[in-house]
Structure 1
Amino acid sequence: MTVSGETTQETTQQGVILTDAAAEKARGLLEQEGRDDLALRVAVQPGGCSGLIYQLFFDEREMDGDQVQEFDGLSVRVDRMSAPYLTGATIDFVDSIEKQGFTIDNPNASGSCACGDSFN
């Protein structure tokens, strides 16, 4: 989220942090789809062996209470139920021999399962 063109510590703490690599990958995926009306939605849902799982998907809906942030032209939305679980979480994109995909480093997670797909 930007205020007068500069990111502030206060706004960063209130929402998610999207790295340049993650923003670039998401914008690339949107370009492949040929859609400019979608936002990246980040949500937390019940599930997984630790109780909660992350959901990242493109969404055209804007729901009441959404926390909306802009990252170099990419809109990121977090619903009001997921926002407390994601405050200060960093979303990155990793492309290495061992792993490829989006990762979430969440300071609010007290633990995760062995497979790393869910948290509590």
Structure 2
Amino acid sequence: MTVQNESAAATEGAQTEAAHKVVMSDAAAAKAKALLDQEGRDDLALRIAVQPGGCAGLRYQLFFDDRSLDGDLVVDFGGVNLAVDRMSAPYVEGATIDFVDSIEKQGFTIDNPNATGSCACGDSFN
């Protein structure tokens, strides 16, 4: 199910909430778009998935994907399609994907209100 039209109707760009209820900040959308442009790819979506693993039980997967899975929820954020598979959607509902670029840390971050705990290294959650 694709809900790009709902997202575009709500407001243009990032910080909109739609079917999969994951939000991508302007900074994250801009960085993802820059990475796609750098590779010359417009056929990929940024996918967030939850997989079993890590010391706390579940682990995020955030990657560019050329597949379209049955039941995917897809929303456009600033020209980047953010895809969530139907099995991962309940685990990431309400999560925010951001991009941090500071002297201490650089990379994509996921703030998930559904995570009740995480491991000491921050690699997995439950």
TM-score of the superposed pair, with normalisation by structure 2: 0.87
**Counterpart in 2 of 1:70?**
76
Maintained 8 Å contact 2:19/2:75:
no
TM-score of the superposed pair, with normalisation by structure 1: 0.91
- C-alpha deviations, 1:72-110, integer Å up to 9, x for none? 211010001100000010000001111111000000000
Number of aligned pairs? 118
CA RMSD of aligned residues (A): 1.8
Maintained 8 Å contact 2:95/2:113:
yes
Maintained 8 Å contact 1:13/1:87:
no
The whole-number CA distance in structure 2 between the counterparts of 1:29 and 1:11 is 23
Maintained 8 Å contact 1:15/1:67:
no
The whole-number CA distance in structure 2 between the counterparts of 1:94 and 1:104 is 10
- C-alpha deviations, 1:14-66, integer Å up to 9, x for none? 42100000000000111111100000000000111100110011011111110
Unaligned runs of 5+ in 1: none
The whole-number CA distance in structure 2 between the counterparts of 1:5 and 1:84 is 22
Give 1:3 deviation, angstroms.
5.1
**Counterpart in 2 of 1:36?**
42
The whole-number CA distance in structure 2 between the counterparts of 1:6 and 1:13 is 14
The whole-number CA distance in structure 1 between the counterparts of 2:18 and 2:66 is 24
Give 1:6 deviation, angstroms.
2.6
Q: Where in structure 1 do 4 or more consecutive aligned residues deviate above 6 Å? A: none
The whole-number CA distance in structure 2 between the counterparts of 1:32 and 1:114 is 34
Unaligned runs of 5+ in 2: 1-5
Asked if 1:97 is matched to 2:66, the reply is: no
Asked if 1:106 is matched to 2:121, the reply is: no
Maintained 8 Å contact 1:91/1:105:
yes
**Counterpart in 2 of 1:58?**
64
Q: Share of identical aligned residues, percent?
A: 69
